[in-house]
Amino acid sequence: MSGSSYAYASGRVSGLDESLLTDRIWNQLISAEDRDEVLRILGDSWYGSLLQTEDELEGALRSAVCLAEEELAELSNDKNFVQGILLRRDVRNARYLWKNLAAGGDGDVDLEPAGMVSLEDLKRVWGDSNIVGVLPIQFQKTLEEIQALHSPTAARLDSALDRLAAKVESENLGKLDEPVGSLPSVKIELRNFLTAARCRGDELSPAAVEEIMLDGGYHTPSDIAEAVRVNKLTSLLGEKSGFEEAASALDQGLESGSFLAFQRVSDQMTLDVLERASGNMFSPGPLAAYVLRRELEASHLKMIAAGKAAGIDPRRLSARVPRG
């Protein structure tokens, strides 16, 4: 896709960006009295039409992400770029389906529209190893890993599927020009250090810590596991330029036992990368940034809705969600 074609697509995306929630609306959502008020506020926003057709907020948010991906597919002539984005949807569907099947279910779960892998194939391969070749190679490896587990826990299933998600994102978004190309490594790095920090008090061996790390960050899983062992996790993260604020928040979390501030900084770093990406009109950056912004917006809306349902104080939500 040429630079001029991207410029046209980016111009279209700039109009879509206006449908993302403003700081004023985020402030209203965080200050809302309860979940019902959250729904009322969203009803007056771009999400209003989705909420009218969906029984549940989660379904509406899932539809919002799918719409963003479909808009990208319409705007981009770059086949590989579109496939890379849609494969991420297939990872989500694999998670919904395979976790249900691993728990003894019949696969009757709500799914998103198929991306590059048919929903029927994702379901059929569970019971027929002879047709596993219909899946992309990374999906095949993950399916084999899951089915080799004896009485798999939800945590072990999520760990395997998290690795698949990270691999697919790194192999696709990681090929794009900066700053979008750096986003998979940034997210993996932050996720690994949060996981390691939470493991610190569990008295896990370095090998056990290393096993649950994701590949693709700026520090290797073995380096992070060793930092846990010698109690130098914060200093290791702070060595990477641009991660100083995250290192400080991680240090606070290790002292207090709460990692809300670190998670907030992590999400803010993602938003900052996407903000920079949206500025290069002659690249796929604005298209990718729009989809990823919508995903993160949906994630934050789920947090706020769940927080309101649980009666969590607005100040605690503000400490976690970098909005408003």
Q: For residue 322, report the phi and psi dihedrals to the nearest 5 degrees.
A: -80, 65
Task: Identify the band that residue 40 occupies on the pLDDT scale cut at 50, 70 and 90.
Answer: very high
Burial of 81 (0-12, 13-18, 19+ CB in 10 A): buried
**What does the pLDDT average to over 82-109?**
95
- b/e string for 287-321 if b means 16 or more Cβ within 10 A? bbbbbbbbbbbbebbebbbebbeeeeebeebbebb
Q: In Å, how far are 79, 88, 154, 224, 316 from 116, measured between CA atoms?
A: 11, 9, 26, 34, 39
Which pLDDT belongs to residue 12?
87
What value does the mean pLDDT take over residues 188-202? 93
**Residue 209 CB-half CA count within 13 A:** 27
**Which residues, including other chains, have CB under 8 Å from residue 7's CB and lie 6 or more apart?**
281, 282
What is residue 123's predicted lDDT score, i.e. its pLDDT?
Answer: 97
- H or E stretch covering 178: none
**Residue 123 and residue 199: Cα distance in Å, rounded?**
34
Given a cut of 80, whether residue 309 has pLDDT beyond it is: yes
Q: Are 126 and 94 in contact (CB under 8 A)?
A: no
Stretch among 95-99, 115-119, 211-215, 277-281 having the lowest mean pLDDT:
277-281
Q: What is the pLDDT of residue 253?
A: 97
Whole-angstrom CA distances from 135 to 124, 138, 191 are 11, 8, 27
CA–CA distance, 324 with 314 (Å, rounded to integer): 12
Percent of the chain residues past pLDDT 70, beyond the cut: 98
For residues 216 and 186, give the distance between their C-alpha atoms in angstroms, rounded to a whole number: 9
CB within 8 A of 110, min separation 6: which ones?
Answer: 59, 62, 96
Give CA angle at 166 (164, 169), nearest 5°: 105
- Mean per-residue pLDDT over the chain, rounded: 93
Lowest model confidence (mean pLDDT) among 87-96, 143-152, 248-257, 290-299? 143-152
**Does the pLDDT of residue 4 top 80, yes or no?**
no
pTM: 0.93
Report the C-alpha gap between 24 and 5 in whole angstroms. 34
> Is pLDDT above 90 for 56?
no
Q: Could you report the per-residue pLDDT of 238-277, keeping only the tens digit for each?
A: 999 999 999 999 999 999 999 999 999 999 999 999 999 9
- 40 vs 49: CA distance, rounded Å: 12
